[in-house]
Structures are given as C-alpha cells and as structure tokens.
Amino acid sequence: MSSNELSGAGNCCEDVHESPDHATDDSQETSSDVSCKEQISSISHGRVNVVVLGDIGHSPRMTYHSLSLAKEGYSVNLFGYSNSKPQEELLSHPNINIIALKQTPKQLNKLPMLLRFVMRVLWQALTLWVSLLAAKRPKTLLLQNPPCVPALPVCWLYCLLFRVRLILDWHNYGYSILALTLGERHPLVSIYKTVEKIFGKLASAGLCVSRAMKDDLKKKWGIKNVTVHYDRPPTRFHPISIEDKHNLFLKLTPQLPCLAGSAPDKTVFTERFADGRVCYFEDRPALLISSTSWTEDEDFSILLRALTAYEQRALSTPTEYPRLIVIVTGKGPLKDYYLEQTRLCAWQMVQLETVWLDPEDYPRLLAAADIGLSLHTSSSGLDLPMKVVDMFGCGLPVIAQYYPTLEELVKPNINGIIFKSWDELADRLMSWFKGFPQSESHQVRCERFHRNLDNFRQLQWHDYWQCNVLPLISQEAAVLPAPLEPQNEADEHQS
C-alpha cells in the first residue's frame, strides 16, 4: 500500500481519509471524478444563507463553505458575530455579504446563571430571526452545529415557513460541549440534547466531519441523510520557502522577541547573507507550534509536564537535544490560568510564548515550524481537529493526542505521531528532536513525513467540496425540512 493511499489523498469522494483500497493513480480520471464534473456542469446558481451562531473569524469551516459557494457563482449571506477580523478574501469577495449579528448585551452577565442562559437564548433567537427576515430569501440555508440553541429551531422555522432547504453541518454535539462545564446530568444539558436530537432529525440533509459521527448520528438518533465531509486544507495553507520563513520571523519579532537574532539580518533560526541567500543556523533551536482554544477539551497541563520532562533530558545531554521554542496561538477562557502555571516553570532549554496572529500570518507560521502539536480530544470523541488539517496543508508533521476517531485523519508514523499521556508526549518530543537538526536519522524521518504530507495536500478543500457539498446545494428538487411531530417512544429509547 502506497503512502499516497495511506495519507488520505485518495479520490474525490466522501471517504477521503479512509479509502486506501479504492485509491487510483493520480494520472487517471476516476468514475467519481467524472460524476462530480457532470454534477457541477448542471448546477443552477442561486442564493445561500450560511449561519454560524459564533464568531465568523473563528469559524474556518463555515468560512470555507462560503468562499466555495461564492467561487461557484452563488450569492452568499454569511450570518455570525464579528468578534475578530475574518480573512481578507472573505471580506473582499463580491458574492459574499457578511451580516453581523448583534452581540448579547453585557448587562446579562450580571444575572444568575439560569436566568442569564434563558435571556441570552431569547436575545440570540430574536436577533437571528430579525436578521434572517431582513435578508434576501435563499434557496438553501447551511447551518453550523453546534451551537444548536437557539439557532437550529430558529432556522428550522424560517426554512419551513419560507420553503427553504435546511442543511445542517454537524461539527460536534453541542450538548457534549455544554456537559464539560455543567456536567452530564445538569437539566440544561438534557434540554439541549433533546432540542439537538429533535430538530437535527428535521433537517433536509446533513454534513458531518467524521465517519464516526455519521455512524453515531444514525445509531443514536436515527439520522441517516448525512454526508461525511472531511476538512481539507484550502490553498492558503501550503509550504513556504526558507526566504519566506526568514521574512516572517523578522515580521513577528516585535510580537515574539524570542525570534530575534543578534543582527538585523538574522533571526534565532536563520541568516540572510549579502548575496541574498538565506540559510538555517546549524545549531538553531527547534520550533514547535500549537493552536488551542484554551477550553476544557484540551488539557494544556499535559504539555507543561511534557516540556518539563524534555527540559530535564535536554539539560542532562545538551549535545543531543536542541533548545525548544514553543509558540501557542489562540484565545480562550483558560488561557490566563495556564499562563500563570507556565510562569512557575523555570525552564532553561524550553521557552513558551503565546501570540494572536493575523489570518494571513497563521498559515505561514505553521509552514515555518518544525512540528505541530494537537491536544484536542473532542467532547464527544467524534469530531476531528481542523488545526491538524491546517498543519498538514502546510507540510507540517503533527504530534496529536489520541482518541479513537483521530485515526481517520492522523496515520501513525505516516503523517503524524500519536500520544496518550504526558510522559508519552515527552518521549515523542525527545525521539523527534534527538540529533536535531543535523542527524541523518532525523532528516530521513522528516523527508518521509513530508512526502506523505505532499500526497495529503493533493486534494484541497474546494476540489473536495465540489464533489461532496456542491451536489447537495445544487439540487433543483428541494427537499424541504420536515414539520415538527411528537416524538414516539421508540425514538426516545434511542437517545
């Protein structure tokens, strides 16, 4: 079996990560490719509403849906919050109209938790409903889940009244995320789960991010009309040259002083010579990058303990292990807590920095790193970390925390490395960086991973989207959302 088959390049089909037995030579046009082209040639353009009850700038999958729709000639209304700046391509595209939802009033934060939850849901429902009514009517509405409350009931009612197709994109279960904070037995979690189940079954069609999630939706809630649409890297996630890496390090030095070199034409990793050539320092430190949402489903303490173990090993054998610079991107509720823990670590061979990057610089920093790290474990155990897809798109191998669904994306010792505990993570880091960057064994291993990642990158987001999502969007005979009916006892037992 070739590395191309194992790394998930595959054909333009639903099971892009899991179809090694059906992979074909890249030079041949498969029957699925032909079918996709026939479907694409017969599309009828119209208007699509894309709805995410969250920050648009932190919703990459819905951003990519919107850009692909616009690229195919659809007019797109993108509804969401404008907490952070979206990528420039989204802002400048003539076919995309961003409709910013009104933020929840800060005064609600002073209310008791239960009342605050109810008032926030009512506010979000009202503002979303008014925004949908004010916009031009679409043929299709594509909704991200989670969050489903109140977005899913509101969008279902809108689609039912105005005869619009409702397509639900399942990223995870919203109730499982809420349970991380409130506990599985909390009444709000039960209510959330019931709403998610009832209205999820009423959608015209569905997408989801993993085969495991598709199987779980069918087994647990009887939802069958769901297509697996794996995340794939868009074109802006790609490897970059050493010259581009050098320029990026110079640009980011004001934000990240740890990247600074000893002279204007030097960084801690690279040097530009008088003739314009850029070279790495032979004794340069290693660069590890991680992106986190700083939430309960990513235990950052695992990284801190692993880095402490790496520090001890590197101090005892400094000729075998490089100094390690760790850059963590992202924002979230637990960031301040973990940064305080980091300050207590008196490391000499490890330096950890956090940064918030412009959308254009994030993929470049991924491409400039030596290895990526994912601590994502999934509240439901069924979704897949998009950050890993981004890293693969940039040609960056990944060390990822294990959970069963992960192997739909990360193939151990082919495109990534898996760990289950902090001490395993420490071992993986020491194994990867031993002899870095000059040892022959390290270079051979890196070259093998990069070849496999090149194969993964052959099928990018829009090409895959054309075959998987476009046929759902372009259906002329619209299947409208089902009306709400009482749940029968058999359905209740499935939950």
Which secondary-structure segment (H or E) carries 355?
strand 350-355
Contacts within 8 Å (CB) and 24+ apart, 279-283: 279/242, 280/242, 280/437, 282/437, 282/438, 283/322
Other residues' Cβ atoms within 10 Å of the Cβ of residue 24: 15
The structure tokens 């509405």 sit at: 141
* 227 and 250 together in one domain: no
Number of domains in the chain: 2
Residue 322 within any structural domain of the chain: yes
* 73 and 193 together in one domain: yes
Per-residue confidence (pLDDT) for residue 6, from 0 to 100: 34
For the chain, give the percent of residues with pLDDT over 70. Answer: 87
pLDDT tens digit sequence for 351-393: 999 998 888 899 999 999 999 999 999 899 999 999 999 999 9
* 304 and 444 together in one domain: yes
pLDDT band at 72 (very low <50, low <70, confident <90, very high): very high
Contacts of 261 (CB under 8 A, 6+ apart): 267, 268, 270, 271
Residue 431 within any structural domain of the chain: yes
Q: Residue 486: pLDDT above 80?
A: no
Q: Determine the structural domain holding residue 321 and report its residue range.
A: 242-458
In b/e form, how buried is each residue of 200-227, taking b as 16+ CB within 10 angstroms? bbbbbbbbbbbbbbbebbeeebebeebb
pLDDT band at 349 (very low <50, low <70, confident <90, very high): very high
pLDDT band at 16 (very low <50, low <70, confident <90, very high): low
pLDDT band at 480 (very low <50, low <70, confident <90, very high): low
Q: Which two tokens stand for residue 194?
A: 């019931």
* 158 and 306 together in one domain: no
* 469 and 450 together in one domain: no
Task: Tell me the one-letter amino acid at 142.
Answer: L
Residue 317 within any structural domain of the chain: yes
| 288 and 324 Cβ atoms separated by less than 8 Å | yes
Q: Residue 449: pLDDT above 60?
A: yes
Per-residue confidence (pLDDT) for residue 196, from 0 to 100: 97
* 313 and 171 together in one domain: no
* 274 and 388 together in one domain: yes
Q: Classify residue 11 by burial, with Cβ atoms within 10 Å: 0-12, 13-18, 19+.
A: buried
Residue 315 within any structural domain of the chain: yes
pLDDT band at 482 (very low <50, low <70, confident <90, very high): low
Beta strands in 155-296 (DSSP E): 165-170, 205-208, 226-228, 270-272, 278-280, 286-291
Which secondary-structure segment (H or E) carries 128?
helix 113-134
* 47 and 166 together in one domain: yes
pLDDT tens digit sequence for 104-121: 999 988 899 889 989 999
Q: Classify residue 234 by burial, with Cβ atoms within 10 Å: 0-12, 13-18, 19+.
A: buried
Contacts within 8 Å (CB) and 24+ apart, 1-8: 3/414, 3/448, 3/451, 3/452, 3/455, 4/452, 4/455, 4/458, 6/411, 6/414, 6/452, 7/411, 7/414, 7/415, 7/452, 7/453, 7/455, 7/456, 8/409, 8/411, 8/415, 8/455, 8/456, 8/459
* 188 and 250 together in one domain: no
Q: Residue 1: pLDDT above 60?
A: no
Q: Which two tokens stand for residue 23?
A: 């992979």
| 13 and 20 Cβ atoms separated by less than 8 Å | no
Residue 485 within any structural domain of the chain: yes
Average pLDDT value over all residues in the chain: 88
CATH code of the domain covering residue 150: 3.40.50.2000
* 454 and 468 together in one domain: no
Q: Which two tokens stand for residue 335?
A: 């960031």
d(CA 169, CA 49): 13
* 249 and 159 together in one domain: no
**For residue 102, which phi and psi values (nearest 5 degrees)?**
-70, 135
Residue 237 within any structural domain of the chain: no
Residue 270 within any structural domain of the chain: yes
- Is the bond preceding residue 437 a cis peptide, omega within 30 degrees? yes
* 135 and 193 together in one domain: yes
> Is this prediction's pTM over 0.75?
yes
Identify the DSSP state of 91: H
Query: According to DSSP H, which parts of 201-300 are helical?
Result: 211-221, 242-252
pLDDT tens digit sequence for 155-210: 999 999 999 999 999 999 999 999 998 999 999 999 999 999 999 999 999 999 99
The average pLDDT across 245-249 equals: 98
pLDDT tens digit sequence for 415-446: 999 999 999 999 999 999 999 998 898 899 99
The average pLDDT across 307-333 equals: 94
Q: Residue 495: pLDDT above 80?
A: no
Q: Residue 11: pLDDT above 90?
A: no
First-last CA distance in the chain:
40
pLDDT band at 485 (very low <50, low <70, confident <90, very high): low
Residue 442 within any structural domain of the chain: yes
pLDDT band at 456 (very low <50, low <70, confident <90, very high): very high
| 438 and 27 Cβ atoms separated by less than 8 Å | no
Q: By three-state DSSP, how is residue 103 classified?
A: coil
Residue 311 vs residues 308, 317, 318, 337: alpha-carbon distances, Å:
5, 10, 10, 22
| 403 and 191 Cβ atoms separated by less than 8 Å | no
Angle value at C-alpha 414, between 398 and 229, nearest 5 degrees: 75
Q: Which two tokens stand for residue 135?
A: 């916009």
pLDDT tens digit sequence for 257-275: 999 999 999 999 999 999 9
Q: Are strands 96-100 and 75-81 parallel, antiparallel or unpaired?
A: parallel
